[in-house]
Amino acid sequence: MNVLTIGGAMVDTIVTVASDRIEQIKMRNAESSFLLLEEGQKTEAEQIATSGGGGALNSAVAAARLGHSTSIIAKIGRDDKADAVRILLQAEGVDISRLAVDDNEPTGTSVIISSHDRNAAVFTYRGANTRLRAEDLPAEAFAGRQLVYVANLSNESADCYPLVVERAKAAGALLAVNPGIRQLTARYDDFWQSLKHIDILCVNRAEAQTLMPRLLQSFGDGGAPLSVKSGDPLQPLAKRGLRSGGYEMTLVKFLGALIELGVGAVVLTDGANGAFIARGQDLHYRAAQHVVAAATTGAGDAFSATFACYLADTNDAIRALSAASINAASVVQFIDTQSGLLTRSALERELARESEAPLLSFSI
């Protein structure tokens, strides 16, 4: 299969701090927690490492390791970090001929602080990632692609999103979209107009709650709850639904609304609590694998890219959901976003071991 990924390519600096050297505060009445750095003091780190990052880069490496012919469209600067991005991608067999270069902005970079439950705090400078333009997205770059995977776009790059959708569909490719919160707020109208063209939409819980206000206008709040048997291992999100601005929407209503608006398949992830996939009238839930996490950064990219590749390749939503869960669980066992990405053969072996995966199915 021929895959094209579009979005960000960055260099990450990952700082791992022991839990007893940095304070954590969790809110009692909100789903938030904070890491506290003491002003004016040095904090000893367990490790400081450098790695590639960014949605398009992570998903390109995931697709390449799954055996697909993979290309990337992203924008980098003229600096040492750009060289690091090229070297990493070439080592993975990713075609970098469509990497664009910006003369004014440096390659994007992030500083990631991982401590306590390893749900890292991230400081991001997007740099050249925000500077994709129409000339960086020629029609010939989409020709022959079976899957176009669009990671988070921001600023000027997000202005190109309608063009990306147009060219992906003109090329006859399946379109998978994994938007970020910035794109769902500042560029929401463009995203809303594209829903009927999206074959695979991947969002996490925070992104789903950002989508809610517009859906509320058309579908209202509330909705029917999931009908579950006593003892089913269903996670809290399924019971309480999504919440935004004082309104609530059950998962059945939220996912059903997106399917009604024309999305082919909707993936909703909730970290260690598992993930849901809605397709047509079918809804499936899979619990997350229990692993010791070194860092959670990159798990969402691994999940979404693996799901999109498997669904495009096999048209089997349940197998795609299991493959995505396994690959994401592998990624979180490493501090960077690529070391844990599995090859196709390794992932198939893991799937074969899971003859009885923790899966629940419903109708919507």
Tens of pLDDT along the chain (364 residues)?
Answer: 999 999 999 999 988 888 777 878 877 666 677 878 778 888 888 888 899 999 999 999 999 999 999 999 999 999 999 999 999 999 999 999 999 999 999 999 999 887 766 677 788 999 999 999 999 999 999 999 999 999 999 899 999 999 999 999 999 999 999 999 989 988 889 999 999 999 999 999 999 999 998 899 889 988 877 766 555 556 677 777 888 888 889 999 999 999 999 999 999 999 888 999 999 999 999 988 888 887 788 899 999 999 999 999 999 999 999 999 999 999 999 989 999 999 999 999 999 987 655 677 777 7
Say which amino acid occupies 3: V
Q: Which of 106, 134, 131 is nearest to 10 (CA)?
A: 106
Q: Which of 225, 222, 247 is nearest to 236 (CA)?
A: 225
Instruction: Name the token pair of 57.
Output: 């880069």
Is there a contact between 210 and 245 (Cβ–Cβ < 8 Å)?
no
Instruction: Name the token pair of 179.
Output: 């938007």
Strands 200-204 and 265-269, how do they pair?
A: parallel
Domain 2-7+55-105+128-363 has CATH 3.40.1190.20: yes
Which helix (H) or strand (E) segment holds residue 86: the answer is: helix 80-91
pTM of the model: 0.92
Domain boundaries along the sequence of the chain: 2-7+55-105+128-363
Sequence-separated (6 or more) residues with CB below 8 Å from residue 313 = 1, 68
| C-alpha–C-alpha distance, residues 257 and 244, integer Å | 16
| C-alpha–C-alpha distance, residues 245 and 247, integer Å | 6
Q: Which of 107, 105, 21 is nearest to 57 (CA)?
A: 107
What is residue 221's DSSP assignment? S
